Every structure is written in C-alpha cells, then in structure tokens.
Structure 1
Amino acid sequence: MTLNGRDHRIDFFRGLALIFIFWDHIPHNPLAELTVRNFGFSDAAEIFVFLAGYAAVLAYGKIAQRDGFIIATVKILRRAWVLYVVHIFLLAVLMGIVFFANNHVETRDLVQEMGLQYFLSNPQQALTDELLLRFKPNLMDPLPLYIVLLLGLPLVLPMLLRKAEYVVAVSLIVYLTAPQWNFSAQEGGVWFFNPLAWQFLFILGGAAAMIGQRQTTQKTRPLSRQPLFISAIIYLLVTGLIAVSWRWPQVHDALMPMWLGEAIYPISKTNLSPVRLLHFLALAYVVAKSVPHTEWLNVWLARQICRMGRYSLEVFCLGVILAPLADMLNALGGDTTTIKLFSALMGVGVMAVFAAWLEWNKRLNTPGLKPVK
C-alpha cells in the first residue's frame, strides 16, 4: 500500500491541541475553561498522542516504502535522539525561567507549582534522573513519552503497513496489562503518562492513518442512520454532562448513581482509563465523520492553527517555556482577568509567529519552494 496525500484537518487539530495544552497549564487561566477537558473525560493529551502516532506512521511509513525499513529506522532513531537532546535543553531552560520568575513573584511559589523542589533538595541525583528521563517536572511529561513511543515505532512499523489489525491486537493486550507496570520516576514515583498504556493510543493513531489511506469515495448512509455514530454522540453527551456536573459536587452526587460512580471512578490519566480512551475515540470518530475537509481550512485563523500543527513538537516546546512566563506575568499584574486573558492570547500569538517563522525558514532553505507570505 502506498501512502499519499495530507489531511490538513490533522494539522488543524494538532494545532488546536497545542493551544489547549498551553492554556491548561497556565494556573487560573479563564480560557482554560473552554478546552476539551471541561466537557468530557479526555483532554488535549489524548489528541496530541493519537495524532502523533497518525503523523509518525504517515511520515516514516512513506520513507520505509520509498527507501526501505533500515533507512526509516535510522531516521526514527535520529529523530528520537534529537528529541532527547531537546528534552534536556528544554528542562534546563524551564528551570532557569522558573527560578528567575520565583525571585520576582511574591504571591505564590512557582518552584512548588512546577515540581522543581526535587532539584533543589537533591541536585546531583536530579541531574542523573534527567538524563534517564526520570526527572519530569510539570509540563515536561509529554516529551519523554513521545521519545519512548518513537523508539518503539521501528518494532511495529513493518507490520503496521501490512496488517495493522495485528499490531492493534497486540497493543491492546499490552494496554490491558499496563496498570500492573510503569516506568520509574524520581523519588520512587512512576511516570505520569504510563508508556505501556499510552502506546495503545499512539498505535491506534497509526492504524487510523492506514485506514484513512485505504478509504475510497463511496456513498454512505446519512450520519443520522449510522448506529455507531449515534452511539458515539450519546456517549459524548452523557460523559459531557458528568464532566460539567463536577463543577457542582452536590449536583453531581445527587445525579450520579452509586453503581455508576464505583464503575468509572477513579478516571486514571496515568493508565489511560478505559472511559477516557472511549471518550476520546468517540470524539475522534464524530469529528472525523462530521467535519468536512473543505474550504474552511483556508480561513486565515484556521491556516495559522494548521501551521502550528505542522510544527507541533517545536511549538509544544515553546509552549512549555511560555506557560511559566505567562503565570509570572499574571502574578505581577495582580492576577486580574484582563491580564490573564492577555497573557493567554499573547502566548498563542507568539506560538503562531514561531510556527510561521519555522515554515518561512524551511521554504527559504528548500529549493523550489516559495517563501511563505
């Protein structure tokens, strides 16, 4: 099978996930009330990992088909090494920013908020743990997860391109046993994103890329007559009501049957609880079915978000740096609603400008491509 074409909706939703992740990591940010985590069991992390798998299989699958699996493996491992170096550099920059900001903010302890006390109390061990991907302060969890998932991609890529359903079946078995295992982290802890659980979502993203390439233009029944689509809509509505009710604990306790609460709680993010996974899959299915790949992606705002999605890892790293800076700006500005909205929107603007610069630089250094206007 040959991999062709590019679905720009993928870029759009990756960019949107980056915005949501940035907003969600600014404490007390009013715009974080608009992100997907407030209306269901999953959040932007699921979007990011699923689409990372989708994009990785498309990109490296194309290389494997053109140049062979050895070349694809070398490129994957080289990419993982680059991300490892970026992770170490990014953590050093993040610590520098947080320590600097903490000296200028009197209303709260940013070091405590970012989970950097371990470095202050045991700097030598923290540096060792950083090299082993065991020291992960707040905001730093997704990148080590992606590095591990990328390192495992060469093991499954050949079969994903031929029989994706077999890989999904094995991945499901690993996912079901994941709560019994996890990678170790600093001070006897474990990874916040258990790679053995989250690999299933990454693999599902890759399998979805394969299915998307196989689809042909056929007449289908209206969505209102498709049982799977209707079931997904109902699940999203029910879980959305539950998630909204969390804002009012008394209302939630009154409406939530005891047996249902015992069945779904706790909703683990570390081990990607089944109800979280099912919520995201329902959301992805509904969006894929109901959001057309049409001219709406040519609207100026959509183009900016798509561009951020095309450079998702670079923009994510910038967001990690901007989040504590936005928090510092909010604290220095008195934590008013105006300053919180300004810092959140300004951060997204900086991320968009950075993505535009990356694209301009790429076109400038690629023969035959015109610089972006």
Structure 2
Amino acid sequence: MTFERDHRIDFFRGLALIFIFWDHVPHNPLGQITPRNFGFSDAAEIFVFLAGYAAVLAYGKILQRDGYLIACVKILRRAWVLYVVHIFLLAMLMGIVFFANSHVETRDLVEEMGMHHFITNPQQALVDELLLRFKPNLMDPLPLYIVLLAGLPLVLPVLVRKAGAVVAVSLTVYLLAPWFGWNLAAIKDGVWYFNPVVWQLLFVLGGAAATHGQRPRLPETRALQRQPLFISALVYVVITGVITVSWRWPEIHDAVMPGWLSNLLYPISKTDLSPVRLLHFLALAYVTAKLLPDSGWTRNWLAQQCCRMGRYSLEIFCLGVLLAPLADMVNAMTDDAFAMQVFTALVGAGLMALLGAWLEFNKRLTAPVQTVPVN
C-alpha cells in the first residue's frame, strides 16, 4: 500500500484551526458561521479525525519503509514534542490571560479561562500541569492529541492491514466507556472535557479512512450503487442543521420538536462524543468528500493558505490559542464592539496564515541543497 498525500486534508485542517480560533473568541460575529452553528458536531471533530488521518498517513509510510521500531520511536518522539509544547504553551497562555485580565475591568478573564486553580494552589497546579490534569479553556485539544498519538503504536501495524478489526475494537470501547464511566482525571469537573476513551474512535476512524483512501478507486458503476448512502447522509446533515439553527429561537424549537425526539437527542454530550454528534460529523465528512473531490481546487491561492496552515497545524494551533485572549481583551476595551470583533477575527486568521507562510519559507531555506556532480 502506497501512502499518498491528499491536499484536502491540509485544507480542512487549516480551516478547522481558523474555526477553532473564531469559536474561542467570545461574542465573535464570525464565530456564527463555524460548523457548530449548523450541526451537532464542530471543528473539534474535524481536528481529531484529520489528526488521525494525517498520523496514519505519515507513520504508515515510515512503518512500511523503516519498520515498526523506527515508526514507534518517531511517533513517541513526536508525542514528547507535543507534551513539551503543551507545557510552554500553557505558561505563555497564563501570562497573556493575566495581562489581559489587568486591562479588562468588567470581566474576570482568569475565572472564565479556568485558571483560578493556579492562583489558589500554584504548586499543585504545576504538578497537575505536568500530569495533563490542569487544562484551562482553549487547551483541551492538545492534551487529547498527545494521548491519542502516544497510543498509536499499539494499533498502527494492525490498522494499516486490518483496519476493520481495529475500528471494531475501538467502537466497542466507545460504546462501553459512557456506560462504565471511563475517563481520565482532571481538575475542572474532575474529568477530561474531551474524554480520550471515546474520542479515540474518531482518531481511529481517521486512520482507517487514510488506509482506505490509498486503495484503488471503485469503478464508476459500483460507485453509483452508493448513491443512497450519500442521500441519507445529506438528509441527516440538513435535518441536524435545521435543528441546530432552531436553537436560536427556543420557543419555536420547543413548539416544533416532538417530545420523543427531544428525549432521544438530548443531552448531546461533547465530552462523551454523543452518537448523534459522531454520526453528524461522519455524514458531513462523507458528503463533503463526495462533493469536493481532490481535483485541483486546492491549488488556488486562498485554498493554498489554508493548506499551508494545515501542514503546520501544531504551530498554527498554538498561535490561535495565544491570540484568542488577546482578541477578547481588545474587543472588551473597544466601544465599537462589532467592528472590532470582526477586525480582530480577520487579523487573527491573517496572522495564522502569515505564520504558515513563514514556516513554509523557513523550511525551504533549511532544505538540503541538491548537488550536481561535475564530470
């Protein structure tokens, strides 16, 4: 099996990072156009699924070329880098939040960001930070990715050959975890906001999609047989979108939503990745993949900016985490709130794109020079 890069993965990873940044800035008007406003899932599902896809794509290639031991070492080394980045990012985020809090008199940003634990018990907070137990707001996706990536060596050899078996085991764990209350301990609320025991399913499904995408394409006649699946997925995406939009008008939602359906749907847990959230994301991903094949549209200039951010997702994510409280501070200090909120949202996305461009340029500068032998 040859692992080839799908440029749509980079594009949607970059787009998800922009959506995460916009969602993390309170009262941001551009946050109204992110996926969470039009369906049960949001950018977090995109981020985790594509993280699994990209990880299996990259380390599956290393597994085939260099063997299991080298692939394991590189995976764990990457997880260690992410862990170190998490520690430094949290320290920088706390500094920025404390600075922003001193300039905003109407709100307690430290409390909103879940950092009072560090003020009341700094020594324990440092220990909890090292153990990934202390995760202020905005920081949750990175520890989740660290844990999922660190567990990848356990399943990678089977995943690239028998993806169905790994998905079956992963699905079983996903179904049992809420029943038995499986989760990791944390300070806030006592458990991880993104329960890695259930979110691992999305990561595994991303990896399985990567292995499936490397197989020869089905003939067009067989592809047509899947049309009912596409229609079913599209209908589900539309219906859930209508339900989500109706949340803005509770009286209308309560009037048109049957009681039995409300009891079936709610509560929609993000922590335990409710089945309706998972199904919505999978339907949305399937519809998007069918409507937007990798046919060259990712080569236009605007798409290239998103692709570049997706290729350097760790650095771009960290920048977005640091920009969010700064944008919130600037918005809170400005009289013309709407205009400034739009401005800071666009500037933040622009800075993320600039960082991606710089990282791409720096990579070219440090690339080894190809020498031409002289006869």
Any idea what the Cα deviations from partners look like across 1:326-345, whole Å, max 9, x if unmatched?
Answer: 00111122361110001000
The aligned amino acid for 2:349 is V
CA deviations 1:285-335 (Å, max 9, x no partner) are 001111021232122111101100111111001100000010011112236
Give SS of 1:6's match: coil
Deviations 1:242-277 (A, max 9, x none): 000000000000111100100110000000000000
Which position in structure 2 is the counterpart of 1:275?
276
Structure 2 residue 174 is matched with structure 1 residue 175: yes
Partner of 1:299: 300
- Which residue is equivalent to 1:162? 161
Q: Percent identity?
A: 73
Correspondence for 2:15: 16
Secondary structure at the residue paired with 1:162? coil
Change in Cα spacing, 1:325 to 1:247, as seen in structure 2 (3 Å) is same
Gaps in structure 2 of 5+ consecutive residues = 371-375
Report 1:23-62 matches (<5 A): 23-62=22-61
**Is it true that 1:72 corresponds to 2:67 in the alignment?**
no
Matched residue type, 1:211: H
TM-score normalised according to structure 1 size: 0.96
Contact preservation (8 Å) 1:54, 1:202: yes
Q: Is the 8 A contact 2:2 2:61 kept in 1?
A: yes
Report deviation, 1:219.
Answer: 1.5
- SS of 2:214's equivalent in the other structure is helix
1:192 aligns with 193
Shift, 1:364, TM fit: 1.0
Which residue number corresponds to residue 308 of structure 1? 309
Distance 1:210 1:122 in 2: 46
Q: How does 1:227-266 map to 2 (within 5 A)?
A: 227-266=228-267
Q: Aligned equivalents of 2:270 and 2:126: distance in 1?
A: 27
Separation (CA, whole Å) in 2 of partners of 1:89 and 1:328: 21
Change in Cα spacing, 1:224 to 1:27, as seen in structure 2 (3 Å) is: farther
Q: Distance in 1 between matches of 2:219 and 2:12?
A: 25
Where does 1:80-159 land on structure 2 (aligned, <5 Å)?
Answer: 80-159=79-158
Deviation at 1:351, TM superposition (A): 0.3
> Does the aligned pair in 1 maintain the 2:198–2:273 contact within 8 Å?
yes
Offset at residue 113 of structure 1 (A) = 1.4
Alignment match, 2:373: none
| Deviation per residue, 1:98-148 (Å, 9 max, x gap) | 001111111211111111111111111111100000000000000000000
Q: Secondary structure at the match of 2:322?
A: helix
1:323, 1:243 → 2: CA distance? Answer: 25
**Which runs of 5 or more residues in structure 1 are unaligned?**
none
Preserved CA contact (<8 Å) 1:224 1:230: no
**Residue 327 of structure 1 aligns to which amino acid in structure 2?**
D
Aligned to 1:351: 352
- Paired letter, 2:77: R
Equivalent-residue separation in structure 1 for 2:40 and 2:70 (angstroms): 39
Counterpart residue identity of residue 100, structure 1: F
Deviation readout 1:12-49 (Å, 9 max, x if unpaired): 10011000000000000000000000000000000000
The size of the alignment, in residue pairs, is: 368
What residue is the counterpart of 1:213 in the other structure?
A: 214
Residue 155 (structure 1) shift: 0.2
Please tell me the root mean square deviation across aligned C-alpha atoms, in Å: 1.4
Provide the C-alpha distance between the structure 2 equivalents of 1:176 and 1:298, rounded to a whole number of angstroms: 40
Aligned-pair CA distance for 1:278: 0.1
Paired with 2:261 and 2:224, the residues of 1 have a C-alpha distance of 29
Separation in structure 1 between the aligned mates of residue 38 and residue 188 of structure 2, nearest angstrom: 34
1:196 counterpart SS class: helix
Cα deviation for residue 170 of structure 1 reads: 0.4
Code of the aligned partner of 1:338: A
What is the alpha-carbon distance in structure 2 between the residues aligned to residue 279 and residue 359 of structure 1?
34
State the distance in 1 between where 2:222 and 2:369 align.
43
CA contact (8 A) 2:134 2:188 kept: no
